[in-house]
Amino acid sequence: MLIHIDVRQGKVLERVDTFQLTTLATETAQRKFETDSGLPVETLYSSSVSPEKLGEPGKFPFTRGIYPNMYRERLWTMRQYGGFGNARDTNKRFKYLLGHGETGLSVAFDLPTQLGLDSDDSRASGEVGKVGVAISTLENMQILFQTIPIDQVSTSMTINATASTMLSMYIVASEAQGVSRQVLRGTTQNDILKEYAARNTYIYPPDESFNLALDIITFCSKEMPKWHPISISGYHMREAGANAVQELAYTFSNAVEYVNAVVARGNPIDSFCSQLSFFFACRNDFFEEVAKFRVARRIWAHIVRDRFHSNNEDSAKIKFHVQTSGETLTAQQPEINTIRVSLQALAAVLGGAQSLHTNSKDEALGLPTEDAVTLALRTQQIIAEESGVTKTVDPAGGSYYLETLTDELEARALEEFERVQKMGGSLEAIKSGYIQSEIQKSAYEFQKQVDGGRKIVVGVNKFQENVSPNKIKVLSISKTSVREQLLSLKKFRQTRDKKKLEVSLDRLKTEATKAASERENLMPLIIEATKQRATTGEISTALREAYGEYHPRTSF
């Protein structure tokens, strides 16, 4: 029997049976070590990848980074995903963040906006401004960026089903400021495939939604050379339960689906490919996440060169945004979420991200407060300015463990990628329910490990404390903010030429009704409807009447 004594106070703290210690030691020795995605982890790694396969930063296949000097030359874009209440509320938050050192804006839209509903729609009741900013009108968009120099800042929009409408409003609002669409920098997420696979904020059937996403890509390749028309997203699939292997496999399956379709429209690969961007999650398995970003660069480089025969090295350089994982944050002991976010952000930086959002510690409880979002931004700034990891390119490169993980993760991701290709690609795999089912299985297995104590979540199934999360200040949306939004929408509708508006919406609906191979690109028509002061809901209604609404299968 061993007795632990507090020497300072002479108190017996606990008694530990030596049999228990022996049992614990045996269990530890027999424990199976693996990454979150199930990759085996050896006790020691003593050999590394060959120099030829590792390559050099800025050179194909870009394992070590897409630029020769990486962060020595330019830091990643620091974004904080923001949006709540009405446009005036969010404009104030944007200015606050820019004033505190944020280098790129990232817009969160409320659920009605994402689903093509105006704020005064009966189905929007109770949701206006709750999970993002309410944007129903061109005037809302203008207020959102009021006195913000949008020709000097990069704007990311997390929007999918109504991406064409939000981009149109942004273009018209910018041109009203005297800023040409040619100089606008930023991203529309516009990845509708992952909505059917994981996130579920879709409106129209998959084929019609897919073609609308293609319209944005082809339009931007000709009209907006500095804009990323799509952010092909693994993040939401990861948050829904996909592991790192699946995140890579399904993201690139989706990417190939988009590229195949844009090329089939008569656009050479190098006319648009360099404008594509990607979006990944970063969870807690530190080295697996660093390896994942290296794998992403390598896989995309080979897809672009070997599958699509690109001759342009810029097309093969993947540009990706990373967001630390909101799903890993806990309502229990929310202050320790700061530590999780710090480790995830460091993994993203060591992985070579071009853009990064750090979640706030209070996001398991509500929208982030100013104090919480400032701390999240400061986390990025400390990594950039104080940690020293930006002083050299690819500081983790060559690690025996990291390079082995990179190779194994690549092999497993490509195996699953090819499985989806044999099914006919992502669109067919999603329609059949395969991808959704695989993500659900992965989520279930992970949760079983947490519930059984085989995977530790500090504060949840180990090291718990009896502290109420209600003591944490949570941001709330004021009723006044919602009333102002509804009143502004009512006034907006009274200031339009209804005849011109109806003509523009009718033309949009008529063109959308045509077969995709016969109709023109809908983006110019949506821009025209926006100029005639059509609302988000009115544009979506025109497309609903042309396409119908999608209702998913309840089982697979």
Domain of 275? Answer: 57-457
Instruction: Answer whether 221's CB lies under 8 Å from 270's CB.
Output: no
What is the three-state SS of 6-52?
ECCCCEEEEEECHHHHHHHHHHHHHCCCECCCCCECCCCCCCCCCHH
**Looking at the domain assignment, is residue 191 inside a domain?**
yes
When divided into structural domains, the chain yields a total of 1
**Looking at the domain assignment, is residue 113 inside a domain?**
yes
**Looking at the domain assignment, is residue 443 inside a domain?**
yes
Instruction: Answer whether 88's CB lies under 8 Å from 485's CB.
Output: no
Per-residue pLDDT of the chain (556 residues; tens, 9 = 90+): 444 444 344 444 444 444 444 444 444 445 678 888 888 888 766 666 666 677 889 999 999 999 999 999 999 999 999 999 999 999 999 999 999 999 999 999 999 999 999 999 999 999 999 999 999 999 999 999 999 999 999 999 999 999 999 999 999 999 999 999 999 999 999 999 999 999 999 999 999 999 999 999 999 999 999 999 999 999 999 999 999 999 999 999 999 999 999 999 999 999 999 999 999 999 999 999 999 999 999 999 999 999 999 999 999 999 999 999 999 999 999 999 999 999 999 999 999 999 999 999 999 999 999 999 999 999 999 999 999 999 999 999 989 999 999 999 999 999 999 999 999 999 999 999 999 999 999 999 999 999 999 999 999 999 999 866 566 788 888 899 999 999 999 999 999 999 999 999 999 999 999 998 899 999 999 999 999 999 999 999 999 999 999 988 755 4
> How far apart, in whole angstroms, are the C-alpha atoms of residue 553 and residue 556?
7
- Exposure string (b/e) for 326-349, b if CB count within 10 Å is 16 or more? bebbbbbbbebbbebbbbbbbbbb
Containing 189, the helix (H) or strand (E) segment is none
Containing 156, the helix (H) or strand (E) segment is strand 154-158
| Phi, then psi, of 234 in degrees rounded to 5 | -90, -15
**Looking at the domain assignment, is residue 287 inside a domain?**
yes
pLDDT at 546: 97
| Phi, then psi, of 251 in degrees rounded to 5 | -65, -45
Taking the chain, what is the end-to-end CA distance rounded to the nearest angstrom?
Answer: 56
**Looking at the domain assignment, is residue 504 inside a domain?**
no
- Supply 501's token pair: 């508006």
The SS3 of residue 126 is coil
Instruction: Answer whether 206's CB lies under 8 Å from 430's CB.
Output: yes
> How far apart, in whole angstroms, are the C-alpha atoms of residue 190 and residue 424?
22
List Cβ<8 Å contacts ≥24 apart for 196-199: 196/430, 196/436, 196/550, 196/552, 197/237, 197/240, 197/250, 197/254, 197/426, 197/430, 197/435, 197/436, 197/439, 198/236, 198/237, 198/239, 198/240, 198/242, 198/436, 198/439, 199/160, 199/236, 199/240
Tell me the pTM: 0.91
> How far apart, in whole angstroms, are the C-alpha atoms of residue 378 and residue 355?
15
Instruction: Answer whether 184's CB lies under 8 Å from 224's CB.
Output: yes
**CATH at 238:** 3.20.20.240
Beta-carbon count within 10 A of 75 CB: 18
Q: 337-350 and 370-385 are packed helices; what angle lies between their axes, rounded to 10 degrees? A: 40
pLDDT at 21: 41
**Looking at the domain assignment, is residue 38 inside a domain?**
no
Containing 107, the helix (H) or strand (E) segment is strand 104-108
pLDDT at 48: 60
Q: How many residues does the chain have?
A: 556
| Phi, then psi, of 407 in degrees rounded to 5 | -65, -45
**Looking at the domain assignment, is residue 333 inside a domain?**
yes
The dihedral sign for the CA sequence 240, 243, 244, 248: negative
Instruction: Answer whether 127's CB lies under 8 Å from 78's CB.
Output: no
> How far apart, in whole angstroms, are the C-alpha atoms of residue 2 and residue 477?
56
- Supply 536's token pair: 């988000």
- C-alpha 63 chain-centroid distance: 21
> How far apart, in whole angstroms, are the C-alpha atoms of residue 349 and residue 322?
9
Runs of H (alpha helix) within 55-162 = 87-99, 111-114, 138-144
